[in-house]
């Protein structure tokens, strides 16, 4: 029996949502450049055909920065070939995607060390030095 | 999670960092169909959220709704939300049985008077209440008793929301929905057969985050998830616009992924989030798998004609009415429905 991918079913369907999304990113990038305003786009909520998410990724490409945050499962943070445009993929502990965003920002918030974590780190370090 | 602890403290004690919490809030906001700009608001509200008591009653149902939720594709987010509520009674999931289980429900109702959320799946037989009882208590009596002191009711699944399959003709048990019995409490209908797990959790997350009822549509469903029909959010919509339809399940159109309208897809009259939230770990939804939507989140979906009859055919009812309408040249859509019906017959024969 042949494998599923040998069955000739076409999935090259276009909703027409890719180009408007790319224009939205262009406008967001201009706002970031001129006034520093950031934008987040929730990819999970957009009606995209199966191949369109890949087309968006291909168009945006990959840039210089790639990071992984390990908190409640991995989060992959990739700067695209357009500086300031980041693709963020949140996965759960089973490696299943739970949310996907495009963030137009100088640095995604999740990469910054958070105040609460810094405070907790100070406490831990002080405990360590006391013992 | 202890009842006097808020969610922020609880997660910190579980070793979840602030980064992890922000990620949880981003996924939760996405789950609730809130704009990404609302993440900060969600984080602030969730950090101080108290643990609400939830009592889950299952009546005339197939347990598909519970299966849908417990096999949900986002275990991290879902399980954290479930940790954040106190599920005080669910007779499928709880260890207790018999009188002990009923005593737990009564105690939870008493302790959380006016504050607990009542989740109901399954319809309620009122024709003869003996068709479905729990611990000798009829579904009708248990619903009335549990509803009287609740904060709000979430009717999960089409059976609880609209009567569902038990209510289908000839409705032998006299099955009705929750809203046909309870009139003095807010009711949120999370319909679907089963509902999308993320939608069930999204409603619970809304309670947890805002402590209020989400905005509802005219059928009492959360507008964030049921505000648009499947057709408007379907990736095959461009084919509909171009008049490109699959006529059978194995023709060229079907292989090219064309619109399934003529194969009976109920997407244009069905309001749900399947096309964007999706199923099976976000893999797809029925239309993406090559089968039309059956309209399971709409009232009386089982009695609206065949799943393989185009909507226009179902709306006109009998074949005689259809032919009559076609004779006066009423609409191009009706003509195509007749042709499609013939093809449906062939398709069904092929499928069977």
Please choose, from the candidates B33, B62, B333, the residue with its C-alpha nearest in 3D space to the C-alpha of residue B209: B33
Angle at B175 between CA B174 and CA B180, to 5 degrees: 110
Which domains, from first to last, does chain B contain?
52-226 (3.40.50.700), 230-351 (4.10.480.10)
Taking an 8 Å cut-off on Cβ atoms, the answer to whether B237 and A109 are in contact is: no
A55-68 average pLDDT score = 95
Contacts of B70 (CB under 8 A, 6+ apart): B93
A116 touches chain B (CB under 8 A): yes
Asked if B164 and B173 count as a contact pair (C-beta separation under 8 A), the reply is: no
Burial of B194 (0-12, 13-18, 19+ CB in 10 A): buried
Higher pLDDT, B319 or B85: B85
Closest residue to A45, CB basis, from B23, B33, B76: B33
| Domain range A14-130, CATH class | alpha beta
Question: What's the distance, CA B112 to chain centroid?
Answer: 26
The tokens for B292 are 């039309």
A48-70 average pLDDT score = 90
Q: How far apart are CA B269 and CA B290, in angstroms?
A: 18
Asked if B253 and B263 count as a contact pair (C-beta separation under 8 A), the reply is: no
ipTM for the whole complex:
0.82
Q: How far apart are CA B214 and CA B154, in angstroms?
A: 11
For residue B198, the model assigns a pLDDT of 80
For residue B351, the model assigns a pLDDT of 34
CA distance B206 to chain A (A): 17
B323 has a pLDDT exceeding 60: no
Taking an 8 Å cut-off on Cβ atoms, the answer to whether A94 and B75 are in contact is: yes
Q: How far apart are CA B330 and CA A18, in angstroms?
A: 38
Domain boundaries, chain A: 14-130
A89 has a pLDDT exceeding 90: yes
The predicted-structure confidence for B41-56, as pLDDT tens digits, reads as follows: 888 888 887 778 889 9
B340 has a pLDDT exceeding 90: no
For residue B28, the model assigns a pLDDT of 81
For residue B175, the model assigns a pLDDT of 97
Residues from B contacting A (CB-CB < 8 Å) are 12, 16-20, 22-24, 26-27, 30-31, 33, 35-37, 39, 73-77, 80, 233-239, 255-257, 275-277, 281-282, 284, 288, 290
Alpha-carbon dihedral of residues A91, B48, B52, B276, nearest 10 degrees? -30
Q: How far apart are CA B25 and CA B226, in angstroms?
A: 22
Lowest-confidence region among A1-10, B11-20, B232-241, B296-305:
A1-10
B262 has a pLDDT exceeding 50: yes
Lowest-confidence region among A75-89, B72-86, B105-119, B189-203:
B72-86
For residue A8, the model assigns a pLDDT of 60
A122 touches chain B (CB under 8 A): no
CA distance A33 to chain B (A): 19
């Amino acid at each position: 029996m042949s494998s599923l991918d040998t069955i000739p079913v076409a999935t090259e369907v276009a909703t027409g949502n890719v180009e408007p999304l790319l224009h939205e990113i262009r406008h967001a990038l201009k706002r970031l450049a001129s006034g520093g305003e950031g934008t987040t786009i929730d990819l999970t909520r957009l009606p995209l055909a199966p191949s369109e998410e890949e087309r968006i990724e291909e168009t945006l490409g990959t840039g210089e920065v790639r990071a992984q945050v390990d908190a409640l499962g991995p989060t992959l943070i990739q700067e695209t070939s357009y500086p300031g445009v980041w693709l963020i993929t949140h996965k759960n502990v089973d490696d299943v995607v739970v949310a996907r965003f495009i963030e137009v920002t100088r640095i995604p918030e999740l990469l910054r060390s958070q105040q609460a974590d810094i405070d907790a780190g100070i406490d831990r370090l002080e405990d360590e030095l006391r013992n | 999670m202890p009842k006097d602890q808020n969610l922020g403290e609880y997660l910190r004690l579980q070793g979840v960092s602030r980064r992890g919490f922000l990620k949880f809030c981003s996924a939760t906001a996405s789950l609730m169909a809130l704009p990404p700009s609302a993440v900060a608001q969600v984080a602030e509200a969730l950090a101080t959220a108290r643990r609400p008591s939830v009592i889950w009653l299952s009546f005339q149902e197939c347990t598909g709704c519970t299966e849908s939720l417990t096999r949900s594709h986002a275990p991290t987010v879902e399980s954290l939300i479930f940790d954040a509520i106190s599920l005080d009674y669910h007779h499928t999931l709880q260890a207790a049985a018999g009188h002990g289980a009923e005593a737990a429900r009564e105690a939870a109702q008493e302790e959380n008077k006016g504050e607990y959320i009542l989740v109901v799946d399954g319809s309620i037989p009122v024709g003869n209440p003996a068709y479905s009882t729990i611990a000798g208590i009829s579904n009708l009596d248990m619903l009335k008793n549990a509803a009287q002191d609740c904060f709000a009711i979430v009717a999960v699944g089409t059976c609880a929301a609209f009567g569902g399959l038990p209510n289908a003709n000839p409705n032998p048990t006299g099955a009705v929905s929750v809203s046909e019995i309870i009139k003095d409490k807010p009711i949120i209908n999370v319909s679907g057969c089963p509902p999308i797990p993320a939608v069930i959790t999204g409603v619970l997350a809304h309670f947890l985050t805002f402590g209020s009822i989400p905005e509802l549509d005219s059928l009492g469903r959360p507008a964030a998830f049921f505000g648009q029909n499947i057709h408007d959010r379907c990736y095959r919509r461009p084919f509909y616009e171009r008049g490109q339809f699959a006529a059978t399940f194995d023709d060229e159109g079907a292989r090219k992924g064309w619109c399934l309208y003529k194969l009976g897809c109920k997407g244009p009259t069905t309001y749900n989030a399947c096309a964007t939230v999706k199923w099976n770990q976000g893999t797809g939804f029925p239309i993406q798998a090559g089968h039309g939507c059956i309209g399971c989140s709409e009232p009386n979906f089982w009695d609206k004609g065949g799943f393989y009859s185009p909507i226009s055919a179902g709306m006109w009812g009998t074949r005689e009415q259809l032919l009559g309408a076609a004779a006066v040249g009423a609409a191009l859509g009706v003509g195509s429905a007749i042709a499609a019906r013939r093809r449906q017959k062939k398709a069904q024969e092929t499928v069977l």
